């Protein structure tokens, strides 16, 4: 057996086993703490709400086990099982150019993978989310979202794939640098275009109506020196009762978006505190830092791919008989998660640190009490567990556990 095959199988086994072990820990920890509301939340969260969050967390973990197992099986079928080689040979027989054949192979893999994921999406939406009262979507809306998403992916993805493949073939030994620059520019363009052209395809956005909430927001934005194209309300309730708020856009296209569900769940002072937290990310340049980190990792990824595509053992070790630039790209995208899995806790730690900094900024602007009560309200409405396994949380969670986060705010 090829040495790289053994390395790949070992990395995949370790990553999968670690992920499942952490998930089992999470299930046991949440179940063991299901019977009692943590003392810090005893006067804010009822036992029924706490148990709903515990059951929701466990249900998601159980479904995650199935998704993980299926994902590993599909990856092995694509690679060592010869699935990629079969699709490659199918398109090679059509005698198209390398650029068209490579694009066709990649698009075929994308469409097949999307089709395979449909049953899981259906279960997640209409069984899991519905069981706990969160789903508001309909079959018609689900199908419309699916078709629009796939069409958008093709309209954007096909030209991008063709550009990357052309650079890989024609730009010489430094192609990876040009490809990185192209992807960076594409990311910036998409950040600018998303709020104006992409998001309205799926949701309706309307300006926040005049009233106490808008007055508070405008005053907060003025204090913080934040300029945006407006404050909008999104019809998130069409699909889910989960609440959220976010910034979107880039440069002058920045805008603030509240889910309509969030406006129903929180009071104006609490919403102001949530917005102040989001502004904290802006003030501490977390978005820019995140973009710089992702572009740096993308640069390393392209450089690694440039080296790997020259190695015959890379293809042979992953079940591909005929090396090609497009097959190198597909293989790299498929197997790299197995080798980068243990970067997850580092990225999660950076994200949690940013959350604490944003909380501290919000406390300076609005005080700790409103943000604390808003967070508790969000945990209740979204059925977020108050008792995650510490190790699972440290490895995966981008936000600090509720108890730790509220404790920080209480000290503030």
pLDDT in tens, the chain (412 residues): 689 999 999 999 999 999 999 999 999 999 999 999 998 888 889 999 999 999 999 999 999 999 999 999 999 999 999 999 999 999 988 878 889 999 999 999 999 999 999 999 999 999 999 999 999 999 999 999 999 999 999 999 999 999 999 999 999 999 999 999 999 999 988 888 888 888 899 999 888 887 788 888 888 888 877 777 678 899 988 898 887 888 776 666 677 888 988 888 888 889 889 889 988 888 898 988 998 999 999 999 999 999 999 999 999 999 998 999 999 999 999 999 999 999 999 999 999 999 999 999 999 888 888 899 888 888 888 888 999 999 999 999 999 998 899 888 887 6
φ, ψ of residue 309 to 5 degrees: the values are -70, -10
Q: Which residues does residue 257 pair with via DSSP β-bridges, in sequence order?
A: 232, 246
Number of CB atoms found within 10 A of residue 62's CB? 12
- Residue 401 in any domain: the answer is yes
Rounded CA-CA distance 237/33 in Å is 31
- Residue 185 in any domain: the answer is no
Rounded CA-CA distance 396/21 in Å is 13
Number of CB atoms found within 10 A of residue 1's CB? 8
Rounded CA-CA distance 359/287 in Å is 15
Q: How many residues does the chain have?
A: 412
User: Which residues span the domain enclosing 29?
Assistant: 1-173+277-412
Rounded CA-CA distance 41/386 in Å is 9
- How large is the greatest C-alpha to C-alpha distance in the chain, in angstroms? 70
How many alpha carbons lie under 13 Å from residue 383 in its C-beta half-sphere?
Answer: 22
Both tokens assigned to 45:
């969260």
- Residue 326 in any domain: the answer is yes
The structural domain count of the chain equals 1
Q: What angle do CA 251, 252, 256 make, to 5 degrees?
A: 95
Nearest to 186 by CA among 202, 170, 163: 163
Rounded CA-CA distance 348/240 in Å is 26
pLDDT in the model for residue 62: 97
**Exposed, middle or buried by CB within 10 Å (0-12, 13-18, 19+), for 329?**
buried
pLDDT in the model for residue 252: 65
Q: What angle do CA 190, 196, 198 make, to 5 degrees?
A: 60
φ, ψ of residue 380 to 5 degrees: the values are -70, -50
What Å distances lie between residue 161 and 158, 164, 177, 367, CA to CA? 5, 5, 16, 48
Q: Label the pairing between strands 255-259 and 205-207.
A: unpaired
pLDDT in the model for residue 160: 95
Both tokens assigned to 329:
């790209």
pLDDT in the model for residue 250: 67
- Residue 29 in any domain: the answer is yes
Q: What angle do CA 120, 124, 125 make, to 5 degrees?
A: 120
- Residue 212 in any domain: the answer is no
Contact 30, 389 (CB under 8 A): yes
- Residue 407 in any domain: the answer is yes
Contact 40, 403 (CB under 8 A): yes
- Residue 349 in any domain: the answer is yes
pLDDT in the model for residue 320: 93
- Residue 261 in any domain: the answer is no
């Amino acid at each position: 057996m090829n040495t790289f095959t053994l390395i790949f199988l070992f990395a995949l086994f370790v990553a999968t086993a670690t992920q499942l072990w952490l998930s089992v820990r999470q299930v046991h920890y949440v179940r063991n703490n299901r019977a009692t509301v943590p003392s810090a939340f005893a006067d804010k969260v009822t036992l029924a709400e706490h148990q709903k969050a515990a059951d929701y967390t466990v249900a998601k973990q159980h479904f995650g086990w199935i998704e993980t197992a299926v994902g590993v099986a599909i990856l092995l079928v694509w690679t060592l099982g010869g699935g990629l080689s079969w699709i490659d040979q199918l398109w090679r027989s059509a005698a198209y150019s390398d650029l068209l054949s490579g694009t066709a192979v990649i698009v075929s893999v994308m469409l097949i993978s999307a089709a395979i994921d449909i049953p899981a999406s259906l279960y997640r939406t209409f069984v899991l989310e519905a069981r706990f009262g969160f789903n508001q979507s309909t079959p018609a809306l689900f199908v419309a979202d699916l078709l629009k998403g796939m069409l958008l992916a093709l309209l954007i993805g096909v030209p991008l794939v063709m550009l990357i493949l052309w650079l890989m073939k024609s730009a010489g030994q430094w192609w990876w640098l040009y490809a990185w620059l192209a992807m960076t520019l594409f990311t910036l363009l998409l950040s600018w275009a998303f709020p104006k052209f992409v998001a309205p395809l799926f949701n309706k956005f309307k300006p926040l109506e005049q009233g106490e909430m808008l007055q508070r927001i405008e005053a907060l934005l003025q204090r913080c020196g934040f300029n945006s194209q407006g404050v909008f309300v999104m019809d998130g309730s069409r699909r889910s009762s989960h609440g959220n708020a976010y910034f979107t856009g880039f440069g002058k296209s920045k805008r603030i978006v509240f889910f309509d569900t969030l406006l129903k769940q929180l009071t104006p002072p609490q919403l102001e505190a949530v917005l102040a937290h989001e502004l904290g990310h802006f003030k501490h340049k977390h978005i820019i830092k995140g973009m710089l980190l992702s572009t740096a990792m993308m640069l390393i990824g392209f450089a690694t791919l440039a080296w790997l595509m020259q190695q015959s053992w890379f293809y042979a070790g992953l079940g591909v008989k005929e090396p090609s630039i497009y097959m190198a790209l597909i293989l790299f995208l498929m197997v790299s998660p197995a080798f980068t899995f243990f970067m997850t806790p580092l990225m999660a730690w950076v994200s949690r640190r940013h959350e604490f900094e944003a909380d501290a900024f919000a406390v300076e602007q609005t005080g700790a009490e409103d943000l604390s009560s808003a967070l508790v309200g969000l945990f209740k409405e979204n059925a977020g567990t108050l008792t995650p396994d510490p190790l699972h949380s440290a490895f995966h969670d981008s936000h600090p556990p509720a108890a730790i986060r509220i404790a920080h705010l209480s000290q503030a």
